[in-house]
Structure 1
């Protein structure tokens, strides 16, 4: 089975006290979806805000003591080009092989990269150290975990299966923005609309059209995906007969989004032997 998830590379939270954050191992990936707890959303917001501090206005430093939270997020709110370390993670669960975003890969550019792979050049470079590589060959996409290694694991997935997985990742990101809107309305009410707009730019999505009622932290239940703890299956799967509406990198709906069954991911993964 193939699982496609949008993931954010998390900064260390040692000493961070501006709002509650979840414990998360630094420099590992957090899947983004609508079932994140409030503390997990706080960790994601902290990471994106910290990652964009290089864009801060040094002349605004005096505001730090007056409004430390506002000062911390100001660079994120003011940035025209918001950056977020991460991208799409594609996992082949049968062997546990995973194509992870490399260094210099950003969530803000996931849409252009993956739809160019599916509908354009047929090639996607997703960073370095490791150097993940995705190449389309007809109706199949070959995913190489680290193209810089001769012995790198690689696997293949049908284009239609990957397209549905990417559509699921897009919906995960929409869910994350809804959770972030709930979080911001409580934690940063003075900056909430600006913050959610900045986060939307950071993950290559339009901002939510409505702000759903906050659901609060989610407790694990028997429906958890055992292979991906903490990620509720409904975050990347749809019920029978729901229509996927993936959009190309130009924001237009692709022609063959198609109808999706219970899972956006299928058993059409074909391990590439010998590597």
Structure 2
């Protein structure tokens, strides 16, 4: 289980004021404690989609900080390391909703986007996550997760996101953003519920 963000199509975006990782538009890039400056730049560029402000690094970050909430297309990606099956977030899913996976343990599946429409089928001991709930189940791709392993998987995602915040802080320092860089880290933390404790039912 990995936190991932969707790569913008930069052909339809204004010029970026920082280097971004070259990647296929609409593919997914993992977010973790070892991200490079170009990967952090890609993440921050994803936050700017929909902003009308263009210009320098400082001007774009200032516009981001004026937003009440930051949004980021993406979510959690599941990979079966034995079969190679991969379940990715659907369209309109956001990384800001990643904690909804905790609710699976009380019987409430998260919304994972559409087109395709991933779905979590909740069993007694297992969760089966389908890539497309509208497809023929005999042919559709799925990943099985033991319910007992979900807290450990989510704790790993939590550690990756906390580590990623340190990458954003380092990126902002190298970009000489000053206090705006610290404010950006705090805004990302707040919008994506990163450093708050991850609490599971019954714990």
TM bin (shorter chain): 0.7 to 0.9
Partner Cα separation in structure 2 for residue 155 and residue 192 of structure 1: 38
Instruction: Map 1:1-275 to 2 at 5 A.
Output: 4-13=1-10, 16-48=15-47, 50-53=48-51, 68-111=56-99, 113-118=100-105, 120-150=106-136, 151-187=139-175, 188-206=177-195, 247-248=198-199, 255-256=202-203
Over alpha carbons, which structure has the higher Rg? 1
Q: Is the 8 Å Cα contact of residues 8 and 86 (structure 1) preserved in structure 2?
A: yes
Deviations 1:65-108 (A, max 9, x none): xx632332333212222111000001112222112111111111
TM-score, normalised to structure 2, is: 0.87
Q: Secondary structure at the match of 1:51?
A: coil
* Higher-helix-fraction structure: 2
Q: Secondary structure at the match of 1:7?
A: strand
Alpha-carbon distance, 1:52 to partner: 4.7
Deviations 1:143-167 (A, max 9, x none): 1111011131223221121221111
Partner Cα separation in structure 2 for residue 254 and residue 191 of structure 1: 37
Alpha-carbon distance, 1:11 to partner: 1.1
Deviations 1:44-74 (A, max 9, x none): 11121x2251xx5xxxx6xx6xx63233233
Q: Is the 8 Å Cα contact of residues 13 and 21 (structure 1) preserved in structure 2?
A: no
Q: Is the 8 Å Cα contact of residues 36 and 176 (structure 1) preserved in structure 2?
A: yes
Aligned length: 198
C-alpha RMSD over aligned residues: 2.2
Tell me, which stretches of 5 or more residues in structure 2 are unaligned? none
Q: Is the 8 Å Cα contact of residues 119 and 133 (structure 2) preserved in structure 1?
A: yes
Q: Is the 8 Å Cα contact of residues 181 and 196 (structure 1) preserved in structure 2?
A: yes
Alpha-carbon distance, 1:254 to partner: 5.5
Tell me, which stretches of 5 or more residues in structure 1 are unaligned? 208-245, 257-275
Q: Is the 8 Å Cα contact of residues 117 and 135 (structure 1) preserved in structure 2?
A: no
Alpha-carbon distance, 1:171 to partner: 0.7
Q: Is the 8 Å Cα contact of residues 10 and 28 (structure 1) preserved in structure 2?
A: yes
Q: Is the 8 Å Cα contact of residues 6 and 173 (structure 1) preserved in structure 2?
A: yes
